[in-house]
Amino acid sequence: MSINIAVLASGRGSNLEAILEAIAQGKLDAVVKLVLVNVPGAGALDIATKYGVATAVIPNAGMTRKEHEEKVIAELKKHELDFIVLAGYMRVLSSHLLSNFKDSRGFFKVINIHPSLLPAFPGVRGYEEAFEYGVKVAGVTVHLVDEKVDHGPILAQAAFDRQPDDTLESFKARGLKIEHEIYPQVLQAIAKGGVSFFQRHAASDVTADRETARR
């Protein structure tokens, strides 16, 4: 089954491009209905145009969060969307916005990619903070979004080793390459089988149930 998505971005849009390329190559059964950015001139706009995808620019400068989000919600609601996909969208989504995109079990139909092995290093400097901390193993996380920053049920993670001669640039480049592989793969898994993750358990629990939710 094909899924309809909107991609929200703030910057260069390399994850958007990986998603659009996977679709073009027949590896991802999805339709990007809309690319929405909050930063005029963001690189993601050029990428959307190159692939013939509709765009919307809704700058947040000079607006309250509520005013901005109402415009974003109105734009998203113009489309029949199965999921909102965040790809470097550097805005925290309020519970009001999220509540407009809930599945039948109360999870938000909003997916994010983050450049660390969450819950380590949330925020806007995932790679930088992991590198500065001196981690030996770094990684990326794709997760369902909840009301907290870079938080919510984990859909997939992939790790990579820090090499002794890594610079921040080489470290980031290795992570980004993994992002570009894992994000389309996770979306394809959702298109084929719905959203799947391990339910969080208290430390005293012996087993973890596999939680699978179909849209």
Q: Single out the residue of 110, 113, 118, 130 in contact with ligand GAR (rule: CB under 6 A).
A: 113
CB of 105 to ligand GAR, least distance (A): 25
CB of 95 to ligand GAR, least distance (A): 18
For residues 164 and 136, what is the distance between their CA atoms, to the nearest angstrom? 9
Task: Check binding of 126 to ligand GAR (CB under 6 A).
Answer: yes
Contact between 39 and 87 (Cβ < 8 Å): no
On the CB side of 200, CA atoms within 13 Å amount to 6
The amino acid present at 142, given as its one-letter code, is V
CB of 180 to ligand GAR, least distance (A): 8
Task: Check binding of 109 to ligand GAR (CB under 6 A).
Answer: no
The amino acid present at 21, given as its one-letter code, is E
CB of 163 to ligand GAR, least distance (A): 19
Task: Check binding of 115 to ligand GAR (CB under 6 A).
Answer: yes
Task: Check binding of 150 to ligand GAR (CB under 6 A).
Answer: yes
The amino acid present at 187, given as its one-letter code, is L
CA angle in degrees (0–180, nearest 5) for 125-126-129: 75
Task: Check binding of 85 to ligand GAR (CB under 6 A).
Answer: no
Cβ-based nearer residue to ligand GAR, 88 or 152: 88
CB of 82 to ligand GAR, least distance (A): 21
Cβ-based nearer residue to ligand GAR, 109 or 114: 114
- Among candidate residues 114, 143, 151, 180, the one labeled active-site is 114
Told to judge if 114 belongs to the known catalytic residues of this protein, a careful annotator would answer yes
Question: Mask 11-30, x = binds ligand GAR (CB under 6 A)?
Answer: xxxxx---------------
Hey, which residues between 35 and 64 contact ligand GAR (CB under 6 A)?
A: none
Task: Check binding of 69 to ligand GAR (CB under 6 A).
Answer: no
- Which residues are known to be catalytic? 114
Using CB under 6 A, list all residues that contact ligand GAR: 9, 11-15, 87-88, 113-115, 124, 126, 150, 176, 179
